[in-house]
Structure 1
Amino acid sequence: MDLLIEKGLMFGNLIRIDSPVLVERYNRALDALTGKRTELTEFHIDIAGFSPEIGDELADPLYLNHEGVNRQFILLTTEQKRAPLLSSKFSTSRSILRQFIDENERELFALTVRDAVAGEVVNSVFRIETPADLFEIRKLRIEADTTDGTVRVAKRLRGMIDEFKTRPDAWFDDVLIGEMIGLAKETGDVTRNPVILPEMEFDQSNFWTSHFGGLYVFRDIENPAVISVGPKKKIGKTPLPIVFDFDDRAHIATFLDLNDLVEPIIKARGMDATAVLRQKMDFIVARVAADRGEELSQATRRDLRALGRKYAASLPAEWQGLAALVRWAEEGGSWPHITSGHPAYFYSLRAKPHKDADLVNRLLAELSPLDFRQLFICHKDAFYAAYAEWPDAKQAYVARFLESEYQVDKAGAREALFGSEADMSEPDPQDASPWSAGRSRDMIDRVGPWGAINRRM
């Protein structure tokens, strides 16, 4: 994984904490939430304040996410909103934290100037033992305060101010006035600079979770279902009667179609479909060539085309199906008959624009794992797990491609792949990983999301 870290493709956009003041604030918050402290004087944190270095130090990668259910967080700066969420257990977690910071940024900025904000994404489930427990999580709310209770004190002061304004004899209540003055010294003028954080509530209707090997839960649609990454026999009963696994390709295809969740790439509006399909074909050629020991670290599209000819007899059905679609689009002829049973089927789809588009594209990425770019964009954890198993040649090619032709224009690439409303819950484009020692932060000349694919050879 060192190559990914070096190129800013793993642990990228984390916030570096190396100030003694911020380290001490973090420790106060960590102690308040978990009863633990760190001895590190320098570390990096994600949007939730989780630090992989501290996770290693404590030998607990879930030290801020007990049982993978109770997501706690530590905010030292509102800039954390631009950071990723590492090792997420639910697909909704980062968007919830981002929305909380966005909607309370002024208050959080004022609070974090003086102290850390510690909080929790609260639900009624503290431990998930069966898949049925997942369905008990319907509403999530955020509770947060500084380590010295500024929000709690400010709320109390605001109540006193309301009482003072509405009670006829309040002007003569020296005790009330004295308490107000004392609290105001701690909080400042809450009438001009409100520091109250509202309790925010979020629905968790359709989501992915890493629990039980990976589950996609669609319960807020016309035809609900659960889709299991692993064998559905191991899942058992769920509150939803329909459960599929990845062996049920035809059923999943029907489910996506019945709920109007996907569209064929080749027919998507505003999309250079053949460019996307050809790129997917290149990724498949790279897999085949790497398996045969070819050197790919500097491979161009011309090189991949040559390798495709060299190993034409070994190219899998996924490549053949995509090639048929490209021939139809560019040369006319009969429409290729690619049914849900064809290995190329899910490679040929993308989510339609709707509120669960990110979730559907995540599902499609797992169903078409040879498309490493979509896997990287839509499902980081699955990408990292797959990357660790690839031969060195493919690792080098993938890392170079993502660095040179995706990192330089993340937003443009996502829009070209998934449409103008694409979000993918990704952090805003930033410089490379802060863990990349000595690496230049100058922006690479923009080449567009497809790089060499749009250039004439």
Structure 2
Amino acid sequence: MNRLIQHGLMFGNLFHVASPALVDRYNRALNHLSGKTTKLTDFHIDISGYSPEVGDELKDHEYLNHQGVNRQFILLSMEQRTAPLLNMKFSTSRGILKEFIQQNEAQLFALTARDAVAGELVNSVYDVSTPARLFDYRRVEVEADTTSGAVKDARELGRLVGRFKNDKDGWYDDVLISEMITLAGKTGDITRNPVKLNAMSFDQRNFWTAHFGGMYLFQDVEHPAVIAPGGKDHLGELPLEFVFDASEPNRIAQFLTLNGLAEPIFEGRKDWAADVLRQKMDFVLIDAVTSAGGDLSGTTRADMRSLARRFHRDLSEEFHALNALVNWIETGSKWPLITSDHPAYFYTLRASDTKDAALVNMLLAELAPKDARQMFICHKELFYDTYRGWSEAKKAYVVDFLVAEYQVDKAGARDTLFGHDAPMEEPERVPVPDMIAKVGPWGAVRRR
């Protein structure tokens, strides 16, 4: 994994905790949350305050995420909002933390100037001993305060001030006045500088979880289902009727279609689709070449055609199907029928423009595992796990590609791949034949 770390593809953009003041604040917050402290004087933290170095020291990488639920967090700086979330157990956690920071930006900026803010993503589930318990994971509330309790003190001072104003004998209540003076010494003038964090809660109905081998729960859609790509036999009885795994691609495709969650890659972007598909072909080709023991030293994109000829017999069905689709787009050749049970089917899709687009692209990355770029962008946990099993040649090629062609323009790459992130204007819709408009570019999804 050192190659990934050295190129900023793993543990990248973490916040560096190096000053004694920040280390001291971190320790106060860590002790407040868990009763533990670190002896390190230099480490890095993610958006939640989790540090891989501290995890190694404590021999506990879930020291802020016990049982994988109700994730705790430590905020030392507003710079953490751009950091990734490591050891993710729920796909919604980073978005919740980022939204909380954005909605309370001014308050958190003031609070973290002199103390750490510690908190927790609270829900009613305290253990996930069975898969069925995940369905109780419905709403997440954010609770936070400084280690010195500044927010709590300000709230209490506000209550006392209200009592003082409304009680006709307030001027004569020495105990009340004394309490107000004591709290004001801690909080400052809350009338001019309010110390308050917005109470925030988030509905969590559609999400991915790392528990039980990885599961996608889609409850807030017209046709709910659970998708467990790694297998469903161990899940037991669940509250939803439909549960699919990777051995049922046709049923997963039908689920995506019925709920309007996915669309062909070239939908509205046909001029770019051929380039995207050709890059997917490159990754499929590299997988075949490295599996056959081929040498990739010094390989560039210009060498791909030569490699495809040399290893023609080793190329998989995905490569040939994607190549036929590129030819259809660019030359108007015969339309390739790629049904939902074809290995290339999920390589040809991207998420539709819905609130769950990121979750769907995450699922598609898992269903199209040879596309290393999409896996890295959409499902880093899976990427890191998969990366460990690759040959050195494939590791080197994928890292070089990500550094040269993704890191330099992340926004542009995402827009090209997914199409919904940044249009200043609606992309022009490319008309398709009536038959394709009715049944999709690769025929109707067959029912099993």
CA distance in 2, matches of 1:379, 1:265: 18
3-state DSSP of counterpart to 1:421: coil
1:86 equivalent in structure 2: 86
When normalised by structure 2's length, the TM-score is 0.92
RMSD: 1.4
1:103 equivalent in structure 2: 103
CA distance in 1, matches of 2:151, 2:124: 23
Following TM superposition, by how much is the alpha carbon of 1:271 offset from its aligned partner in structure 2, in angstroms? 5.9
Q: What letter is aligned with 2:100?
A: F
Following TM superposition, by how much is the alpha carbon of 1:167 offset from its aligned partner in structure 2, in angstroms? 2.8
Spell out the pairing of 1:131-142 with structure 2 (5 A cutoff).
131-142=131-142
Following TM superposition, by how much is the alpha carbon of 1:324 offset from its aligned partner in structure 2, in angstroms? 0.7
1:15 aligns with 2:5: no
1:248 equivalent in structure 2: 248
1:226 aligns with 2:198: no
CA distance in 2, matches of 1:263, 1:181: 62
Following TM superposition, by how much is the alpha carbon of 1:246 offset from its aligned partner in structure 2, in angstroms? 0.7
Following TM superposition, by how much is the alpha carbon of 1:422 offset from its aligned partner in structure 2, in angstroms? 6.9
CA distance in 2, matches of 1:267, 1:231: 31
1:65 equivalent in structure 2: 65
CA distance in 2, matches of 1:75, 1:298: 44
Residues 216, 228 of structure 1: 8 Å contact kept: yes
Following TM superposition, by how much is the alpha carbon of 1:297 offset from its aligned partner in structure 2, in angstroms? 4.7
Which shows bigger deviation, 179-188 or 337-346?
Answer: 179-188
CA distance in 2, matches of 1:292, 1:228: 30
3-state DSSP of counterpart to 1:152: helix
CA distance in 2, matches of 1:135, 1:99: 23
CA distance in 2, matches of 1:266, 1:313: 29
1:408 equivalent in structure 2: 408
Which shows bigger deviation, 171-180 or 278-287?
Answer: 171-180
Spell out the pairing of 1:378-397 with structure 2 (5 A cutoff).
378-397=378-397
CA distance in 1, matches of 2:70, 2:138: 14
2:26 equivalent in structure 1: 26
1:113 equivalent in structure 2: 113
1:311-337 per-position Cα deviation (integer Å, ceiling 9, x unaligned): 112110000110010011111132111
Following TM superposition, by how much is the alpha carbon of 1:165 offset from its aligned partner in structure 2, in angstroms? 2.8
Residues 48, 75 of structure 1: 8 Å contact kept: yes
1:261 equivalent in structure 2: 261
1:312 equivalent in structure 2: 312
Residues 49, 73 of structure 1: 8 Å contact kept: yes
Structure 1's 213 and 271: CA in aligned 2 closer, same or farther, altered over 3 A? farther
Residues 358, 422 of structure 1: 8 Å contact kept: no
Spell out the pairing of 1:162-181 with structure 2 (5 A cutoff).
162-181=162-181
When normalised by structure 1's length, the TM-score is 0.90
Residues 353, 421 of structure 1: 8 Å contact kept: no
2:366 equivalent in structure 1: 366
Following TM superposition, by how much is the alpha carbon of 1:179 offset from its aligned partner in structure 2, in angstroms? 2.1
Q: What letter is aligned with 2:78?
A: T
3-state DSSP of counterpart to 1:67: helix
CA distance in 1, matches of 2:200, 2:231: 36
Following TM superposition, by how much is the alpha carbon of 1:291 offset from its aligned partner in structure 2, in angstroms? 2.2
CA distance in 1, matches of 2:405, 2:365: 19
1:93-129 per-position Cα deviation (integer Å, ceiling 9, x unaligned): 0000000000001111111111111111011111101
Give 5+ residue unaligned stretches, structure 2. Answer: 424-448
CA distance in 2, matches of 1:235, 1:35: 35
Q: What letter is aligned with 2:421?
A: E
CA distance in 2, matches of 1:297, 1:122: 50
How many residues are paired up? 423
Which shows bigger deviation, 68-77 or 281-290?
Answer: 281-290
2:4 equivalent in structure 1: 4
Spell out the pairing of 1:442-453 with structure 2 (5 A cutoff).
none
Q: What letter is aligned with 2:198?
A: P
Q: Kindly, what percent of the aligned residue pairs are identical?
A: 59
CA distance in 2, matches of 1:192, 1:133: 45
Structure 1's 234 and 50: CA in aligned 2 closer, same or farther, altered over 3 A? same
Q: What letter is aligned with 1:334?
A: K
Greater RCO (CA < 8 Å, at least 6 residues apart)? 1
Following TM superposition, by how much is the alpha carbon of 1:377 offset from its aligned partner in structure 2, in angstroms? 0.2
Structure 1's 271 and 15: CA in aligned 2 closer, same or farther, altered over 3 A? farther
Structure 1's 21 and 297: CA in aligned 2 closer, same or farther, altered over 3 A? farther
Residues 215, 228 of structure 1: 8 Å contact kept: yes
Residues 283, 372 of structure 1: 8 Å contact kept: yes
Give 5+ residue unaligned stretches, structure 1. Answer: 424-457
CA distance in 1, matches of 2:45, 2:263: 38
Residues 282, 305 of structure 1: 8 Å contact kept: no
